[in-house]
Structure formats: structure tokens, C-alpha cells
Chain A
């Protein structure tokens, strides 16, 4: 494996970390204060920094470092992750992504922007420190969160019935010294075997630490197994260090910087423990510090020196402390755990849950990375297999008139197997739409910044799965649409307030499965489409005649025409007039449809309906004018044999069919596709009642139904071009090509939109 391959893996992981980072930040933004979320965010940035360091990507490292420092402030509760802070952080995540991309693909990043953000991040990280310094002279600050929970927690823990656990005194010792300058830190350092495996030495780390100030060390040998079961290469010892230093926590952590991932490290202010002490009715106990370096039995002796009440209370508290310590050991999360006084609050109630969660996380389904090309090749092969199997069945049926049952049974099993293989292979490509949705949140932030609007993006159903190709091709049209929604759809905050709406606009992005397709909805609560303006614009641009009588729906759909933009001033975000027609075309290229419904004053909803996969389709095979066509099964509501009495002529050329007393326009597929010159006699054919995305039913006239079959979709565009009215092609059992009908286009054509002009529009665009 050469360096480039390793680098490629690093960048792949970066992408995952960035996604993790963003989703974590968004969770925080929504008010999630779970420490694990903060930790996940921190870890993501840290991993990127670590990897980038290994590859000498200095820009990335330096930015990630500043970001990490600020995140650390959040992690240690020194910085409240409020909206403003998160706004900066989300932007930083964007810049981090840019830097990562730049590092991978070359290219440049907006230096000014990243410098600006570095400043903002540093300001956030430091902003808290001056304040702390201001408080310091008065008394050693007890961090805000600590006093309240701790007293409550101590009794709670005993109430929960925790068994007293072997008590390490140094935990307690930290509580003892009242606030002294400089600060006393309590450090738990538990190396993992990897630390030694990588050539680090705990002694050296401890020696470095001792240079920072006055230090007492206690070695916790509890983990040491019996001699017989000692693994000479494993790490068993932990050190509990009490360090009195005038340097900050940062300098302590920097000692462990290179070992951080191979050990558990807790750095806490001794003050955290002092705080609850003040609340409890307990006097500081005089204590022989030298005893702390002794073995654990010393605790008995220490206890005797104290008066009864104090001892009891202390015991309760010790339980809490050691319970917390035990919990954090179990969780292997010392890195992430906070001061025991803090964590015992959660430890009492949540340690079990956390342990379970941790287990679940570590037992997560194993995954492998596979090159997409390999999957595609497999899918293509399976497609061929399905066709071949169909051809085989057909020729057996043709040649074998007496119907040997064993062959037929074998074929049937083969058919089931191939279908199962196909489903499984398709499932490999199915991916949640989450990554695309996440990318959109960034787009929203950027556009909101540029336009000075305040926008909230709400996403739903981001775990909806759909074929990878669909996901990949979804990003571009979605970006266009999101931009449009924010730029044109939403009003400025002033206008919104004037209209009695929340100044913050909402853009809602929803994905869901509906009848074998994925439906993606993009809704904004903006002003809706100004139909007068659209109409006028369409007239100005010669898209419609001045006196054209259009329904609201038709006017709304005008925005999908090429060269149409209603924005008064052309912005660099959207409004070049290439937006919506491009969107429509890319959605159509995916075999999808797009629709808009708009309510003036209440916003617009764009609905996109896309196939779950671009590879197979359940279809009804029909005959039209001696041609074999496939109609997607999803579109068909019912099939019926029309009777002469049910057919009614309407005007010169239109015909309606009455179905249970409602009239439905009859569409001759052969005529619309120009397969025959005159309309067929409906009584001789079969009518397929179809429902189109645009609403409304139509009865499609075909000559006969051959059967129902799963077909492999073959692209017409690859070697030919898009054909209006035809969605794609497929290969039938006899080896011939059959065309798959684009029901929506046919229905639209029957409404008077000719199939031809649309093609010329597409070609012109």
C-alpha cells in the first residue's frame, strides 16, 4: 500500500468525520446537550487534525487545532454552546471541509475566510478565560455546574444502593486542600497497552508533568492481575496525580498530546471537589498527606481519625466518587468523562445506559469499503443474468410443448433465485439520503448569510434509502432548489415580520418512500409564487400568449421553463434564469418528476418523485400498433376492457371513457407516439387507468396486454438521445428491445402539450 492509497483512505475518513462533525453541531444547535455529542464533534476534528498532521497538511492542521481548542472549551463546559457559538462552529466546519477538499484535490480556499474564522474561534476560546481570571482573585471559582448537582448526587448515589467500592484516597485528597493558589489539578492517567507499543513511556510523561509544578503521584495497581496471568506487554497501572501548578489545564494536556489517544486522561480542577465540600456540613479534615502514597488499607486508619459524622458523610461521598471513577473505567471514556463530581450526577442514573450504549456502539455492524465500480459491475452482470434467465424461460416454454414439470420447476426456482440475487445486489447500492441532506444545511447557511435572511433548515426522513446513483445525482438539483427557496422563496426578515410571520424562515426538506418511489419534498414558508409576476414574465418572454387562459397550476409550472427568472435583481446566488429548468431536466433524467404547489403568503412546496433504483422496474408489457411497450406498474391504477357504451366523443377528436360514472380522457398511446396515423378503436383494445404525478387520471389505450414482468432498465440516452414519451428501454426475453413508457409525459402530451416542442426546448437549453 503506497502513500497515496493511505492518503485516499484518510480523505475518505475525513469525509465521514466531517459528516459526523456537522451532524453533531446541528444536534447541538437544536439544543442537544449530551456530552457524548460534544465529544463526537471533538473527536471528529481531532481525528482530522491527527491524520492531517501525519500527511503534513499544515493548513488543515493549524485550522483544526484552533477549532479543536475551542471545542475543548465547550467540552470542558467553559464555553456555553449557544446559537452564536454554534454559528461560528458550523462555519468552521464548512471551512474545514473546504480545506480538506483543497488538500485532496489541490485548489485554493478562501484564506481570508479561514483567517477570520480562526480569529473568531480563538476569541471564543479566550473569551471565557479573561472572565475566569477576573473571578479568580476573589475565590477559586467553582465551575458553574458543579455546586448544584453534587450535593444532590451524593445522597442519590447511596440511595441507589451502590456497594462501597475500594476507595482510593487520592480522589479524596483532592477534595481536601481548600482553595489555594495556584490551582490544583487532579489528573487521572491510565495508559493503554498501545501507549507502550508506540514507544511512549509513562515515566517520561510523568516527569514532564512534574516540571509544571508541585506534584504528588499515586499509582493505582488495582488492575494488576495475578502473576500467572500477567501479559508482559499489557498496561495495568494507572496514575492519579495531584498537581499544583500556575499553568493552565491546556499545558497539562499538552504534555499528553502525543499519547492522548493511547491513554485515558482526566484532568479536573480540584476545585470541583472543593465546591461540594463547602455545601456539605463537613469541616475540612486534617489529613496526613504522606499517607496518600501508602497502600489502600491506609484508608481505614484515616477514617478512624475523623469524627463519626464526618466519616459517614465522607463515606457517602467517596462512594459517589469511586462509583463515578469505576463507571468511567468501565466506559473507557476517561478522555471524555468530566470531573467525577460532575459525572457522578450522571453516573448514578445513566451509567448503565451509557455502558449499554457504548456496548452497542462497539458492537456496531461491521462494514467494508468497496469500490463503487465493483458493485456496478456486479449489478450489470446480475442485470444480464435476469435477461438471460427470462430468455431461457421463454425458449423453454416455446420448445417444450408437453411441459416437462422438472424443467419448469427448475426454471421457476432459478427465477426466484435471480430475483433474490437482484434484490440483494440492489440493496448494496441503497444508501440513506442523509449525506445529501447534510450538504444542504451548509448551502442554506451560506445563502442565508449572503442574503441576510435568517433561515432554519428542517430535515425529515434522512434515513430513507435510495440507490446511490440517485443520491449522487440528487445533490445538484437540490442545491439549485434550496438556493431558489432561500433566495426567492423566503422574504427578508422585515417583510416576514410585517406579514406577521416568524422572522426566521423555515425550509423543510423531507424524504419518504411512497409506492415504490422516493418522494422528496422541499417546502418553504415564504411568500409563495407571485402568479401575476410569473404570468407577466412569461408573456414578456413569449412563453405564453398574452391572453392565454392558464390554471394556477399551469402558471406555477411556468417557472420550470428555460430562461425564466422572476427575481427583480439578478443575484450571484440564483437568478441567472437557468435554475429551475435545469432542475426539471436533471430530475427527469433520473426518471423522476417534479411538481410545485404554492400558496400565496404561505410558501411553496416542490415535490420530487424519483425511482428508488435506476436499474430495474416492474412493468406491464403491452402491445401498441405491433410494438411492444412496457408501462411502469407503479403508474397503473387499474386495467379495463372498455365497452362501446362507455366511450363518449368530446369535441372533434377527444374521447372520454366513463368509469363508474366519472369521465376520464382516453389517450391513444399509439397515436401520441406517432405509431399510427389514426386513432384506434377503443373497444378493440385495453384501457390502462393511470395516475400521473401532476394529478388527474387518464385512460391509456393499448392494443393488448402481454403480461407483467420485472425489466432491467437500459439507458436510451447512452447511445441515442432522450425520446419524449419514452422513459428508457429494456430488453425482453426474446432479446429484442422494448421501450418503457413515460406515463407522465404521455399524460402531459394528452393535455395539449405536444411531445415535440418540449424536446426542442430541452435541446435549446
Chain B
């Protein structure tokens, strides 16, 4: 906490970077509760395609979202090498299925470039900006936007 607090005062922040379908994304480390391996999920009826189902996280029911499918890319075919990022989104806890966690970055606000204009509305809605790190491009994701609006309201 003290570390995070120091980062806040200096305008820096820590991000967790992960890979999905060959692209790199990152989320604020403060919203990540834990990272765990893939376990088979129980399918949910009438769920959107990106909703893989729910798993048991130490007694709590945790919905798993296929991040790749959510972005409209090819749905993941989960293997034991896939990773679930357990994240806190508002009052709910959800799991994001990603290919792998790649990095932990400490960046300052100035490093974050605005989302380029060319992106479609859909991508723009959850992209908070892009980062150029060692020649790679990493997209900063706003987790709130990853979940469809109605679902959060109905819940």
C-alpha cells in the first residue's frame, strides 16, 4: 500500500501486462486480486459467447470472461497454460482468461498516450490509452468497460 501510495504521489502507476492473441494489454495492478491457472468452467445458459462460465474460487462463484472473444478476436481454446486474472470491478470479482501474463510495468501518467483516433468505437470504449515500452505497444484497458453495461446494472 505504501508503495502504491508513493507511486500515486509521484504520478506513477503499476500495471500488469498480459498477452492475448499476440497483442499486449495491461490493467492497473490495484484492480488485480490474484492470478491463477485455468480450471474448467461451468457453462452458463444464455450467456454471451465470451462468457466461458463460472469457476469455484475458494467458495465464491467467479465468472470467467474470454478476453480475446470479448474483444471480438478469435475465442480462446483454454489449456492448462492459460491464465486467469482475478480482478475487482466495482463491487464484483471476475476472472479474465488471457494467454499469459508478460510483465509488470511502472509507468508515469506521461507515458500513457491517448488512444489513436482511428480505433473503432468498440475498441475505444475500453482502451484508456496506449503505451510504448521497449518497442512494443501495450494497450491500457479499463476493466469497467469490459463488462457489458446491462449486466452490471441488473446485478
Give residues in A with beta carbon < 8 Å to B.
Answer: 380, 383-384, 387, 627-628, 673-675, 714-726, 729, 731, 735-739, 755-756, 759, 762-763
Contact = CB atoms under 8 A, between A and B. Distances in A.
Interface string B19-62: 00000000000000000000011111111000001111001111
Contact of B59 (A714, A717, A759): A714
B77 interface: no
Contacts of B41: 737
Interface centre among B43, B93, B94, B153 (most CB of A within 10 A): B43
Given A716-B54, A726-B45, A763 B60 contact: no
B44 A739 contact: yes
Contacts of B150: 763
Nearest to B92: A719
A720 B46 contact: no
A673 B53 CA distance: 13
Nearest to B151: A721
Contacts of B59: 380, 383-384, 387, 714, 731
A731 B56 contact: yes
Nearest to A669: B45
Interface centre among A384, A715, A739 (most CB of B within 10 A): A739
Given A674-B46, A724-B46, 16 more contacts: A627-B43, A716-B54, A719-B61, A720-B61, A720-B155, A721-B151, A721-B155, A723-B46, A725-B45, A729-B42, A731-B56, A736-B40, A737-B53, A738-B42, A739-B42, A755-B45
Give the 10 A-B CB pairs with smallest separation, nearest first. Answer: A673-B45, A721-B155, A720-B63, A737-B42, A763-B150, A721-B151, A729-B61, A719-B92, A714-B61, A731-B56
B92 A718 contact: yes
A717 B46 contact: no
A737 B55 contact: yes
A592 B59 CA distance: 24
A363 B9 CA distance: 63
B61 A759 contact: no
A717 B153 CA distance: 11
A714 B60 contact: yes
A477 B154 CA distance: 18
A145 B83 CA distance: 85
B44 A719 contact: no
A325 to B, nearest CB: 65
Given A384-B59, A718-B61, A719-B93, A736 B42 contact: yes
Contact of B47 (A723, A735, A763): A723
Interface in B64-117: 92-94
A674 B45 contact: yes
Interface residues of B, number: 26
Contact of A719 (B46, B53, B94): B94
A430 to B, nearest CB: 23
Given A673-B46, A718-B92, A729 B154 contact: no
B120 to A, nearest CB: 25
B91 to A, nearest CB: 8
Contact of A756 (B42, B46, B60, B62): B46
Contacts of A738: 42
14 contacts: A627-B43, A628-B42, A673-B45, A674-B45, A714-B61, A719-B92, A721-B154, A722-B155, A723-B44, A731-B59, A736-B56, A737-B42, A737-B61, A739-B45
A163 B43 CA distance: 83
Nearest to B47: A723
Given A731-B59, A737-B56, A717 B45 contact: no
A716 B60 CA distance: 9
B54 to A, nearest CB: 5
Given A383-B59, A737-B54, A717 B43 contact: no
B40 A726 contact: no
Contacts of B42: 627-628, 729, 736-739
Contacts of B54: 716, 720, 729, 737
Contacts of A722: 154-155
Interface centre among A716, A723, A737 (most CB of B within 10 A): A737
A672 to B, nearest CB: 8
B154 A723 contact: no
Contacts of A720: 44, 54, 61, 63, 92, 94, 151, 155
B61 A675 contact: no
Contact of A763 (B40, B44, B45, B153): B153
B61 A726 contact: no
A673 B42 CA distance: 13
Contacts of A737: 41-42, 53-56, 61
A384 B60 CA distance: 10
Interface string B128-155: 0000000000000000000000111111
Nearest to B59: A384
Nearest to A729: B61
A628 B42 CA distance: 8
Interface centre among B40, B45, B92, B94 (most CB of A within 10 A): B45
A25 to B, nearest CB: 42
Contacts of B151: 720-721
Contacts of B153: 763
Contacts of B55: 736-737
B61 A715 contact: yes
B52 to A, nearest CB: 12
B45 A718 contact: no
A759 B41 CA distance: 23
A675 B46 contact: no
B155 A735 contact: no
Contacts of A755: 45-46
A674 B46 CA distance: 6
Nearest to A716: B61
A722 B44 CA distance: 11
Given A675-B43, A723-B46, A731-B56, A763 B154 contact: yes
A352 to B, nearest CB: 56
Given A675-B43, A763-B150, A719 B60 contact: yes
Contacts of A717: 155
A720 B155 CA distance: 7
Nearest to B63: A720
Interface centre among A719, A720, A721, A756 (most CB of B within 10 A): A720
Nearest to A717: B155
B38 to A, nearest CB: 13
A725 B155 contact: no
A729 B53 CA distance: 11
Contacts of A716: 54, 61
A449 to B, nearest CB: 37
Contacts of B154: 721-722, 759, 762-763
Contacts of B60: 714, 718-719
A714 B55 CA distance: 12
A675 B45 CA distance: 7
Contacts of B44: 720, 723, 726, 739
A636 B151 CA distance: 31
A755 B92 CA distance: 24
A77 to B, nearest CB: 58
A737 B53 CA distance: 9
Contacts of A721: 151-152, 154-155
A719 B56 CA distance: 12
Interface centre among A383, A673, A735, A736 (most CB of B within 10 A): A736
A531 B155 CA distance: 33
Contacts of A762: 154
Contacts of B62: 719
A718 B90 CA distance: 11
A384 B56 CA distance: 12
A756 B150 CA distance: 13
A759 B148 CA distance: 14
Contacts of B56: 731, 735-737
A716 B55 CA distance: 11
